[in-house]
Chain A
């Protein structure tokens, strides 16, 4: 076996389907979805609102189980959450009754290590997301962006081998967002944590991802996967970058037009 083969198949989805019932009607959130993510890879997932990005991420997190097919992590079937897969939700979901530091430490409750060591780790991650000095603040005392950064620190604190991020920068201002994007890239380059980033933002996907997965809605499936050449300059002015950007946008647009009564299309 070559090294290349060893790396692939770290995180996989095979024929995954997921249905929800909304107001008595069945909605197919995902259907026949295949995805193969190599260890250490950075995958960006793009898609229109409601196409099942969060659902896919929650399947990998082990918070949902697929109705069809299966999801695997490091060869084992995912049957529930694991500390090896860190998650940052679309909303920050900090516990309002805990301070920032306590929230980050709460993720370490079932991790090995002494209490002081955990405290130390938490402090480091809080510093990493630029919240030093706010360790004692309660969530309601933070801005939306600060709360989201605390949530990112919480997702990273277990040093997971796989990081699942659901639009983590959606609530941030452009400056903070750019800063955190750089930080995330740096963390990834240093630790090679396998990362799945769900985003609405094509530029963010192109900036961070090694591969960009474009999904289309109703039912959610993968329209196309773009592998970015490693030497691609992450720069708007670059012609290759611009071409790729155009292609991705075209793929997003080409998805089936959203029917007015989206729910009725797959009525059970």
Chain B
């Protein structure tokens, strides 16, 4: 107590400490204001950049008509399916590769070759046999999630520091115990990094396939907006895509933090 009393209420500020939120919003707010004014005065053609108010109106219209919900539902449904399939496959494949060098020797070169070719390459190839329907999208999205999840799982399981493995050896852990009590917990962070990366990459791939071949979904909304020269629609679509991408990542980040309470803050 006496110690606390002898201290000043707060440490004297070394530099001016700005509260976080207002500052974070300052620049966007200024930009927004400038943008709105410039549009109103007619300095920026609405075909180049519509006024923020107009984008907001479009967003509200999309929301009220239910179009937004239905396009977003299409997109999110595709991503969730592709991600679940790809992540499950990636966890299995990565674990198998980490545990069995023999299996890895058989699979890794082919896997890397497939991983090396990006979505933009697979689309035209797969379009020929699969058409442009949902199967194509599912295959592409699954691949997008599979690759990072596999690689991170494999590396995470393999790269468990020797110093912990030795502790387990000293206490005579069996192979199964080593896996369950040391390798898996130690691999949680890299595996989760892989999952987050997989989801992000899925979302990116989704936009690409929807731009190319789709008649519903957020990517299609962008295409439509562009074809109709409705800039407000395009910008509204971009905003929604960013928001959902952010939300996906935030959810996984939350789970990740839960699973890793043992990590130093």
Interface residues of A, Cβ cutoff 8 Å to B: 61-63, 80-83, 87, 89, 91, 93, 95-98, 106-107, 109-110, 138-140, 158
**Other A-B pairs, 13, CB within 8 Å; known A91-B163, A138-B261:** A63-B169, A80-B169, A80-B172, A81-B170, A89-B166, A95-B182, A95-B185, A96-B262, A106-B171, A107-B171, A109-B177, A110-B174, A158-B171
Chain B residue at minimal CB-CB distance from A84: B172
Main secondary structure of the interface of B (DSSP, over half): helix
Query: Are A81 and B171 in contact, CB atoms less than 8 angstroms apart?
Result: yes
> Which of A82, A107, A158 has the most B CB atoms < 10 Å from its CB?
A107
Interface residues of B, Cβ cutoff 8 Å to A: 163-164, 166-167, 169-174, 177, 181-182, 185-186, 188, 260-264
Query: Are B181 and A96 in contact, CB atoms less than 8 angstroms apart?
Result: no
Evaluate whether A97 and B171 lie within 8 angstroms (CB atoms) in the complex, with A91-B163, A109-B181, A110-B177 already known. Answer: no
Evaluate whether A96 and B172 lie within 8 angstroms (CB atoms) in the complex, with A63-B166, A109-B177, A110-B177 already known. Answer: no
Of the candidates A81, A89, A97, which one forms a contact with B172 in the assembled complex, judged by CB atoms under 8 Å apart? A81
A102 to chain B: closest CB distance in Å? 10
A111 to chain B: closest CB distance in Å? 9
* Interchain Cβ contacts under 8 Å between A and B, 30 examples: A61-B170, A63-B169, A63-B170, A81-B170, A81-B171, A81-B172, A82-B172, A83-B171, A83-B172, A89-B166, A89-B167, A91-B163, A93-B167, A95-B167, A95-B186, A96-B262, A96-B263, A97-B185, A97-B186, A107-B171, A109-B171, A109-B173, A109-B177, A109-B181, A110-B172, A110-B177, A138-B262, A140-B262, A140-B263, A140-B264
State A62–B166 Cα separation when bound (angstroms): 10
Residues of A within 8 A of B261 (CB): 138
Residues of B within 8 A of A62 (CB): 170
Chain A residue at minimal CB-CB distance from B169: A81
State A110–B174 Cα separation when bound (angstroms): 9
Query: Are A110 and B263 in contact, CB atoms less than 8 angstroms apart?
Result: no
A81 to chain B: closest CB distance in Å? 5
State A91–B162 Cα separation when bound (angstroms): 13
Query: Are A110 and B262 in contact, CB atoms less than 8 angstroms apart?
Result: no
